Amino acid sequence: MSRLYEGLMEAFRLILSFDPDLLTIVLLSLRISITAIIISTIFGVPLGALLGLKEEKKTRLFNKIIFTFMGMPPVVAGLIIFLILSRQGPFGALSLLYTPSAMVIAQVFLSSPIVIGLTMVGIRAKGGEIEETARSLGAGSALAAWTVVKESRFAILGAIITGFSRVVAEVGAVMIVGGNIEGHTRVMTTAIVLETRKGNFELAIGLGLILLMISFLVNSILYTIQRGGNKD
Amino acid sequence: MRSLSKTYDKEVLSVEELILTKGCIYGVIGPSGAGKSTLLRIINMLTPQSGGEILYKGRPVPLNGPERLALQRNMALVFQKTLLFKDTVWNNISYGLKARGCKKQEIEKKVTSLLDQIGMSELANRRAETLSGGEAQRVAIARAVAFEPELLLLDEPTANLDPGNIELIEEMITKMARTKEITVVMVTHNVFQARRIANHVIFINQGKIVEMGPTEKIFTEPENESTRMFVEGKMVY
């Protein structure tokens, strides 16, 4: 119990003193996860919207694939990206393994199905009604589709935030493709694993607290967004 | 429309002939599941017919393409379940005008005038999500008539509204039909409402137009026994 208490106190000291090691790890984590979610959003939202606007029976196979990938274990995602980027893999020549880029790729692989799937579900929930209303008011196909996306913005934002909270907290994939190299590919989750194993509970707890705070912030935003979306 | 039909698992609508005259208000009555809403959706080109043809001003309605969109833009449909966009009242009403590429000044003029007509000038910047049922329905109708369609299709426009709002909306419909010469086709469960505001009544039962004619004739001297039973409230369905 005292170890936990001492660990917590030291963790607060590290956070409040802006410890450079801690700061490096936190900033790298955020940079990787934010980059990954931006990439996932850029192609995931239009693809999800496209699937959501199509009749459900025409996209059944896609739905099954996307829902399967949504629940993919991060270590499996890490393994797949590892094999693709390793020296003998199809993209081995790019020498991306054990770089932040590889970690971004792994996180894009993990977050995209979530962004696509939840966007699709959100749009499908009311998309038909919205599209018909828009068309009945004289909107062409493009405007009607844009109206559906705009009206489903709360669901889409929810999809993006859910994708982000999944990748910022995952450890398996980034550990495999990033290698947990200090100052280069060490992020919050991999650092927590390492520091716990080394017995450096202060840093591990400090990082854990920051991760929890990020998770709290992200979920608060998601909750607020969903409340806003459910008002009508 | 001629020899028009719509089939899902079974035939839900079959219309030998239906001719709508400019500037008239048609009240479409009939039991639930009779095909009234399907008829409106087919007229608005939201649901394709399974057979037959629709002529608009004597010309066949094309199945797709820009000509179809242009024709569709001559009409508006207000659904039974009002769906206002998550936006301000002003932006909701101006939606159809913007879709048609109207100029800003024209939009301002028309929306201001409509807000005044529906008694909601002070609510222009209110979020549509915060409106009451009656206010929302008034906005939905204003949004549909903002671009002055030639044909206004209304699916149960006063369902679940209080008598005050029903009166207001009925007044809006009749005034717009009269002043703008808009042809109105209004589906209603309420036969008294059809009698109050429609010039012509179309009685649909089991997917077929049983009888149509001037309102008073349908209510006082119907030719068909099922029409008489329905308008007298004796039809069990």
Inter-chain touch A138–B143, beta carbons under 8 Å: no
Supply the pLDDT for residue A232.
44
Nearest CA in chain B to A147: B85
A143:B99 CB<8 A: yes
CB contact under 8 A, B73 and A138: yes
| Ramachandran area for residue A33 (φ above 0: left; ψ -120 to 50: alpha; else beta) | alpha
- How do residues B193-229 score in pLDDT, each as one tens digit? 999 999 999 999 999 999 999 999 999 999 999 999 9
Domain, as residue range, for B92: 2-231
Alpha-carbon distances of A61 from A46, A58, A122, rounded to whole Å: 18, 8, 18
Chosen for mutation from A130, A137, A157 (greatest number of chain B CBs closer than 10 Å) is A137
Q: How many CB atoms lie within 10 A of CB A186?
A: 22
For chain B, how many structural domains are there in total? 1
Contact A138 B129 (CB under 8 A): no
Shortest CA gap A164–chain B (Å) = 25
CA dist list (Å): B131 to B81, B95, B166, B216: 14, 18, 16, 37
Residue A1 has a pLDDT of 62
Say what the pLDDT of residue A97 is: 95
Q: What is the mean predicted confidence (pLDDT) over B109-135?
A: 93
| Number of domains composing chain A | 1
> In whole angstroms, how far apart are CA B78 and each of B33, B41, B54?
18, 10, 20
Phi, psi of A11 (to 5 degrees): -60, -45
Instruction: Confirm whether B236 is domain-assigned.
Output: no
- A–B interface: beta-carbon pairs under 8 A: 52
DSSP symbols for chain B: -EEEEEESSSEEEEEEE----TT-EEEEE--TTSSHHHHHHHHTTSS--SEEE-EETTEEPPSSSHHHHHHHTTEEEE-SS----SSBHHHHHTHHHHHTT--HHHHHHHHHHHHHHTT-GGGTTSBGGGS-HHHHHHHHHHHHHTT--SEEEEESTTTT--HHHHHHHHHHHHHHHHHH--EEEEE-S-HHHHHHH-SEEEEEETTEEEEEEEHHHHHHS-SSHHHHHHHTT----
Average pLDDT, chain A: 90
Spatial CA neighbour of B12 closest among B224, B233, B207: B207
| A143 at interface of B, judged by CB pairs closer than 8 A | yes
Range of the domain at A67: 2-229
Judged by CB atoms closer than 8 Å, whether chains meet at B86 and A232 is answered as yes
With beta carbons under 8 A apart, name residues in chain B contacting A135.
Answer: 46, 72
Two structure tokens written together for B204: 């649909």
Is B234 part of the contact surface with chain A (CB cutoff 8 Å)? Answer: no
- Distance between CA atoms of residues B58 and B64, nearest Å: 18
Which of B81, B129, B144 lies closest to A137 in CB terms?
B144
* pLDDT at A130 exceeding the cut of 90: yes
CA angle B165, B92, B101 (to 5 degrees): 135
Q: A153-168 and A141-151 are packed helices; what angle lies between their axes, rounded to 10 degrees?
A: 60
- pLDDT at residue A215 greater than cutoff 80: yes
Considering CB atoms only, which of B78, B99, B129 is closest to A139? B99
ipTM value for the complex: 0.85
Contact with chain A for residue B70, Cβ under 8 A: no
- The pLDDT of residue A229 is 58
Cβ atoms of B191 and B222 within 8 Å: the answer is no
Is B237 part of any domain? no
Q: Output the pTM of the full model.
A: 0.79
Is A147 touching B (CB cutoff 8 A)? Answer: yes
Residue A148 maps to which CATH number? 1.10.3720.10
Determine contact: A202 vs chain B, CB below 8 A.
Answer: no
Check if A125 contacts B (Cβ < 8 Å): no
Please state which of the ranges A110-124, A161-175, A192-206 shows the lowest mean pLDDT: A192-206
CATH code: domain of residue B173: 3.40.50.300
Decide if B81 touches A, using CB distance below 8 A.
Answer: yes
- Closest-CA distance, A229 to chain B, in angstroms, reads 9
In this prediction, residue A48 has a pLDDT band, given cuts at 50, 70 and 90, of very high
